[in-house]
Amino acid sequence: QLQLQESGPGLVQPSETLPLTCTVSGGSITNSKYYWVWIRQPPGKGLEWIGSVYYSGSTYYNPSFMSRLTISVDTSKNQFSLKLKSVTAADTAVYFCASTGTYYDQFDPWGQGTLVTVSS
Amino acid sequence: AIQLTQSPSSLSASVGDRVTISCRASQDISSALAWYQQKPGKPPKLLIHDVSGLGGGVPSRFSGSGSGADFTLTISSLQPEDFATYYCQQFRTYPFTFGGGTKVEIK
| Chain B residues 18-57 with a CB less than 8 Å from chain A | 32, 34, 36, 42-46, 49-50, 53, 55-56
**Would you state the pLDDT for residue B101?**
98
Adjacent-strand bridge partners of A36: A53, A99
**Would you state the pLDDT for residue A102?**
87
Asked if A103 lies within 8 A of B94 by C-beta distance, the reply is no
Q: How far is A50 from chain B (nearest CA, A)?
A: 8
| Torsion angle in degrees (nearest 10) through CA of B13, A93, A91, A83 | -130
Amino acid symbol at B23: C
Tell which residue, A64, A79, A57, has the closest CA to residue B96. A64
Reported confidence tier of residue B106, pLDDT bands at 50, 70, 90: confident
Buried b (16+ CB within 10 A) or exposed e, A88-104: eeebbbbbbbbbbbbbe
**Would you state the pLDDT for residue A101?**
81
| Cα distance between residue B46 and residue B67, in whole Å | 19
Question: What value does the mean pLDDT take over residues B75-104?
Answer: 97
Asked if A107 lies within 8 A of B49 by C-beta distance, the reply is no
**Would you state the pLDDT for residue B69?**
98
Tell which residue, A75, A85, A104, A47, has the closest CA to residue B6. A47
Residues of A whose CB is below 8 A from B57: none
Residues of A whose CB is below 8 A from B55: 103, 108
Asked if B98 lies within 8 A of A63 by C-beta distance, the reply is no
What residue ranges of chain A have pLDDT lower than 70? none
Q: How far is A105 from chain B (nearest CA, A)?
A: 6
